[in-house]
Structure 1
């Protein structure tokens, strides 16, 4: 079933979001063949790049990764998928790639601790950017990314692709904006995936194909363990912000987008490693956080153990309104009205596997998320053409990312942080945590 047939079958062809978000679905983007580079050719870097290839006749000319085996495999895969069939130029150092100054667009799929330096260098080279979330590993990095994008006049889309997820756009327009919930004064966001690494490996020597020194970059140097590469680096706070920085940022950003919220005015959090003390992971396995807005609290909760309260919604958001409840996730949404006789509404995501057949066999692709990534790429391309702000503009990504980083800082300090959008109010100790030290010779962009 293609997208148009789905919308007609679901009775949504004339729904407001089709008109207001036409660019997301129409795939009417410029025929310009953008020259594209990718920094970080691992799991999600490839997911993002290959979705872009599906919706635009781009020319992928450069790939960069510190793992030479992963880089070579990515080069061959991209060559098989792009129209030219050319293998992109391969780099081990992003600075060498960007020094060419011949890229229109750069996708950044590196670990979180590299996002800021990669993105800032890309916009300085003249490229527009798609950067994965969270924007920075600390608040000052994230703010520096926003400042760089504005200074150089670049269009930057952040990978918070819930804003481009078709069924969630429908939920926002047909449930929330249609006032089916009435006043909303409480939202719960959550993740109960068992995603925290349980490994405790002895330190060893990195494989010859993996430049661990460059991979570590500005982060603190830890003894090498195989857990860090690929993908399980999220087990360590040195490289990211734990499950809050990985999963909460998506759901908090979705809530902010759906309810048109700015920055929270205060943030508190508690938690720690309560259950799994045997693994080497130093991120929390249990944590709650409260993001306070005017007459609305958004409450985050994660556990990397036990069962989800609702097995159908192990990662998502629940909006509580005076007239009903909305549950929303990457897989579906459910509207449960309070009024007797009013019909409940359920929608599932649409995967588009018939239209994009590569999705059926692509390794590690989250098939239910692929349409959202394509929509996100289309939105970015439209705004590159118009020089406008995409739906997940760097400013929106900064607000959501900073709030999640501040939640971890609040847990560390054991107190509520009052936030004015730039600094913690009357709290020097908390403000000192906005920028963490960089490992030499790397220089913090917010210093």
Structure 2
């Protein structure tokens, strides 16, 4: 059984006389103008040719009737009266039919509307891709599978200081990294992309004049199916950005130094009044830092906790020295005065522009999970996570150090205390980290 091919209806054969009057036509003409052969016999073919294309259509017919006439081909639009639309056809005039009627002309119409649309779309896509390549402000080079440059845009040439003639056909790694400490790295990166791996990183490359500069590199393998054809490489000059980042880091380091000096000055002020408290703050800071590292906190959190720990008792500067150094148990009123030091510390620190919540951590370092702490009686998640660490470090150090009113207690006693109150006063994770550090010997106050 013969198969149906819809494309067979996209070709029509028309026989006309020397004036263009239709004498015979194939049934496929319906596809083009919506009329049957019977409806077309005796009508002029020019009725269905777009007005602007009529002169060329008539010229083609006359050429075929001439002495040396032969096949003549042109594209023109035809009208479909039924659909009130236009189709673009490729019309071929095959010349006079001398064996049948010398004055008859055979004309074939082939629908090229879809093909033209596809070609136009392809051309638009090609133009767009060319613009993305040639008009792109990013420096782009396209290599073959052996890493030799096939094409490079103006931005690439401008960035590296070459003319296009100097770039094409050159090995990309030798062009921008040869005789430099980065040539081996460049070759390795090209090998990675050649193996099918895309890369995106920052490095150093060399210009034509020998200048080295910082560059961001993106390398993408160009593949069709499983076949590798080359590398699509993008380069961005990041020298200015890197300089800005370095200056910003220098400024941040400077500010951090100023913050450390501020913290040290505050600690020194308290040390003049109470040597016990000053030494206590330093040791608490070291233990708190060790716990934070054990819990794998971020570098920024470790720094914030350490800074806060160094001044967590700064509020005691308003407590009379005779109370701080009293060799016996404090009276109720004296203890109540000491308990004000977290709030006083907050008031001292809150207006200093630290990049960390130091004032709030200091304010909360005597709060407990069950709400039994002071000065605000905060509970659970209301307490800053870093304050929970400071609380444990503060209690442990205070117990294992000499105080005016008692001798230092063994580390085992301090650990038993925090483990007994784990989950009630103290965060369980913090307690476990602290106990692990001290029992294993990974941390020692003597160190």
TM-score bracket for the superposition, by shorter chain length: under 0.3
- Which has a greater percent of helix? 2
Q: TM-score, normalised by structure 1?
A: 0.19
> What TM-score comes out, normalization by structure 2 length?
0.19
